[in-house]
């Protein structure tokens, strides 16, 4: 069965520093996609980054990068140069891309950025 684990319920980071949010997954599907979403206090889900299981290089989108270690089944999100506006809940998700396209989410990590 598929599973996503985010072990950090909450984290603090100093403004302008980098932070890593952990995500591990478990799946037997040969093809899958990994996502990170940001949910600010206003509630909407904001897409940050996507990594396909066959992608050789780690995905990057501006200050966000996904540290994909396939053998370890981890997909950590790295935010460089944190900003106060990065304070939010962050969700890791995995999508089965072999046919069912079911997507599951982790429990989330709440990030607090300190000035």
Partner 1 sequence: EAQVTQNPRYLITVTGKKLTVTCSQNMNHEYMSWYRQDPGLGLRQIYYSMNVEVTDKGDVPEGYKVSRKEKRNFPLILESPSPNQTSLYFCASWQPNTGELFFGEGSRLTVL
Q: Which residues bind partner 1 (CB under 8 A)?
A: 4, 6, 9, 33, 35, 37, 43-45, 47, 50, 52, 91, 93, 95, 97, 100-108
Instruction: Kindly state the smallest distance separating residue 78's Cβ from partner 1, in Å.
Output: 18
Residue number, 77 or 93, with CB nearest to partner 1: 93
Name which of 101 and 115 has its Cβ closer to partner 1.
101
In terms of CB distance, is 15 or 30 closer to partner 1? 30
DSSP letter for each residue of the chain: --EEE---SEEEEETTS-EEE--EEE---SSEEEEEEEE-TT---EEEEEEETT-SSPPEETTEEEEEETTTTEEEEEE-S--GGG-EEEEEEEEETTTT--EEE---EEEEEE-
């Amino acid at each position: 069965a598929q599973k996503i684990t985010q072990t950090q319920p909450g984290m603090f980071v100093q403004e302008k520093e980098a932070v890593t949010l952990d995500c591990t997954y478990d799946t037997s599907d040969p093809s899958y996609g990994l996502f990170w979403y940001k949910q600010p206090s206003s509630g909407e889900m904001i897409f940050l980054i996507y990594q396909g299981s066959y992608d050789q290089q780690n995905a990057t989108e501006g200050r966000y990068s996904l540290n994909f270690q396939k053998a370890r089944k981890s997909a950590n999100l790295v935010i460089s140069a944190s900003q106060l506006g990065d304070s939010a809940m962050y969700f890791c998700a995995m999508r089965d891309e072999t046919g069912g396209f079911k997507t599951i989410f982790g429990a989330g990590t709440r990030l607090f950025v300190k000035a």
